[in-house]
Structure 1
Amino acid sequence: MTARPTHTLCPHVPVPALPPAGLIGVIAPAGPAALDTDKAIAWMRARGYSLRVFPGVYEKDGYLAGSDDVRLNDLHAAFTDREVDAIICLRGGYGTPRLLDRIDFELLRNNAKPFIGYSDITALHLAISRYAGFVTFHGPMLNADLLGDKQKPTESSFFNMLRGQVTADSVLVHPAAYPLTTVSPGIAYGRLLGGNLSMIAATMGTPYEIDAEGAILFIEDINEPLYRIDRLLTHLRLAGTLHKLRGVLVGDVAGVDTIALEGLLKQTFASLRIPVLAGWRSGHCDPNLTLPMGALVRLDAGSKTLVLEQDVVIK
């Protein structure tokens, strides 16, 4: 069991809560996708919110949603737009790493607000965590998740987190229909950081790599066979990243046999003697639960619970 650290961890700054009747901005910082704007507006209106779609959402540049300039301008514009209360990404795919060395992190820090996405958006979560220092949200995207009719926990987890209905000392709810697995028991306290495992590994050796010191690592992935998951974890081990961790939360690893994955996780983390909990429904899965990146959490792998140690939004 890992005791609560005697030194104080500096929490990431919470962001303003999504207000009633708030305005949610949509950007496409990675790949393109066709958006049914009328359907999206109606979906948000039915839940009491309005939508602002930024120009790059309607563009396509090969495998990118518009040029780097267009996507970067939309990112900056969404943060500086004082009417926009939260920012959700259209989809993942690929494209966010191309923006990292051009982002004005001071601009983002001075206009902090909820920012939501996963998959390729992981690169932005890692970079914002390191250089802007406010909580972001690994959660559903507009097209595949919210408009994709995923199970209700996807929506309720998303709105409960952003509205501030999940506060410090709250146990994050996980659907009973999806049992969690204790790979290694114990309790750990630290910042929850990570996201898509492939993207975490791709940013290693850059100024935007994960700040793993004292972290609870969250990982998820899709379309990667077991040997590639092994290779990605080995990359992090050889880079010295895994030895800095206090615990590991494993999300959905789509397409990999769960028993085989559990065996690999035991091999990878046994010598580190840190708690590891697997099966959390977050990532390329249904439901897709929202997690606060950069927030202080308590992971109890034995009791299969994840508890917030700080408020992640301010009402």
Structure 2
Amino acid sequence: MTVRPTHTLCPHTPVPALPSEGLIGVIAPAGPAPLDTDKAVQWMRARGYALKVFPGVYEKDGYLAGSDEVRLGDLHAAFADKEVDAIICLRGGYGTPRLLDRIDFQLLRDNAKPFIGYSDITAVHLAISRYAGFVTFHGPLLNADILGDRQPPTEASFFNMLRGQVRAGTALPHPVAYPLTTIEPGIAHGRLLGGNLSMIAATMGTPYEIEAEGGILFIEDINEPLYRIDRLLTHLRLAGTLNKLRGVLVGDVAGVEKTALERLLKQTFAPLRIPVLSGWRSGHCDPNLTLPLGALVRLDAGNKELLLEQDVVVRR
């Protein structure tokens, strides 16, 4: 078994843990979606939390949830609000890349807290990783996941991660009902990076592209046929991104046949001689497990295990 070199990257800063009876803020930095506010408030209250809905959640500007100014304003306001303990995004869709060059990263860094979302929200994860340097969470969206009657592991993974019940040295749990596949065996250490594959590719060549050097790349996607997944991975290969990696964790690639996807992954990553593990239930899937982006992890593809090598939240 090949053991990849020990990481040299500095870990991203852990964020404050979600406290009991904390306040969770909701923002919509991407697309619009109707929100059943009463249902959302009751769901959170039943679990001991209060909910604060920022104004842009109720707006709609075509395929965007409000204007760029409104969505950016809510992002800044949610981080600046000292009473808000964590921020969850309403939905993905489109529009977060339009905000990146206007984000006040010093404001975010000075008020670091759990920030959760996936899909189009990947753009903000990538930008925070590069310019603010704290751990964020590839995890459920309020509308599609939290209020979408997902399987119990979605909720358990979300709260266990944010409350600090998953500590350094712990292997992240994965439901046995969804077997993982070793594409390439081996062990790698590095910072967990990535998110939505289409968004990762879309930010290449910009100041917000993924910092791949020495990282463990996580990818997921939806509504992309196999040839498009091939094109996106080829884009990253030709850009030199894949050569910088120490390992790859593949999440849900919704709509692509499993055997065909695994064949493509083998073709893409076998020449790199890095460990690759596929089938992690995170992304546009049910259950949708929370992953800490920017955190140091140990990927053991042969034993189908992802282990935290740092605490991702700190209890106050």
Alignment of 1:102-121 (within 5 A): 102-121=102-121
Q: Which amino acid aligns with 1:114?
A: P
2:172 is equivalent to residue 172 of structure 1: yes
Name the CA distance, whole Å, in 1 between partners of 2:224 and 2:11.
33
**Deviation of residue 5 (structure 1)?**
3.2
Which position in structure 1 is the counterpart of 2:134? 134
* Runs of 4+ more than 4 Å apart: none
Alignment map for 1:159-238 (pairs within 5 Å)? 159-238=159-238
**What is the TM-score normalised by the length of structure 1?**
0.99
State how many pairs are aligned.
Answer: 315
Name the residue aligned to 1:24: 24
Aligned residues: percent identity? 86
Partner of 1:143: 143
Equivalent-residue separation in structure 1 for 2:97 and 2:8 (angstroms): 32
The residue identity in structure 2 corresponding to 1:146 is I
Is the counterpart of residue 80 in structure 1 residue 80 in structure 2?
yes
State the one-letter code of the partner of 2:65.
A
Aligned counterparts of 1:67 and 1:125: Cα–Cα separation in 2: 20
Pair 1:296 & 2:296 matched: yes
Mapped partners of 1:248, 1:6: distance in 2: 16
Aligned pairs (5 A) from 1:271-310: 271-310=271-310
Uncovered stretches (5+) of structure 2, i.e. residues with no partner? none
Task: Give the deviation of 1:3 after TM superposition.
Answer: 3.2
Between the aligned partners of 1:2 and 1:22, the Cα distance in structure 2 is 44
Alpha-carbon distance in structure 2 between the residues aligned to 1:6 and 1:261: 29
Q: Supply the distance in 1 between the matched residues of 2:124 and 2:216 (Cα, whole angstroms).
A: 18
Is residue 26–residue 87 contact of structure 2 (8 Å, CA) maintained in 1? yes
Q: Cα offset for 1:6? A: 4.9
- In 2, the alpha carbon distance for the partners of 1:140 and 1:32 equals 16
3-state secondary structure, aligned to 1:179: coil
Cα 1:144–1:6 shift into 2, 3 Å: closer
CA distance in 2: counterparts of 1:9 and 1:193, whole angstroms: 12
C-alpha contact (below 8 Å) 2:7/2:189 kept by paired residues: no
- Give the superposition deviation at 1:25: 0.1
Any conservation in 1 of the 2:13–2:133 contact (CA below 8 Å)? yes
Q: What is the letter of the counterpart of residue 42 of structure 1? A: Q
- Structure-1 separation of matches of 2:93 and 2:243: 30
Tell me, which stretches of 5 or more residues in structure 1 are unaligned? none
CA–CA separation in structure 2 for the residues paired with 1:7 and 1:255? 34
RMSD: 0.8
Aligned to 1:60: 60
Using a 3 Å threshold, how does the CA distance of structure 1 residues 92 and 308 change in structure 2: closer, same or farther?
same
Give the superposition deviation at 1:178: 0.1
1: distance between equivalents of 2:111 and 2:61?
A: 28
Answering whether residue 313 of structure 2 is matched by residue 313 of structure 1, we say yes
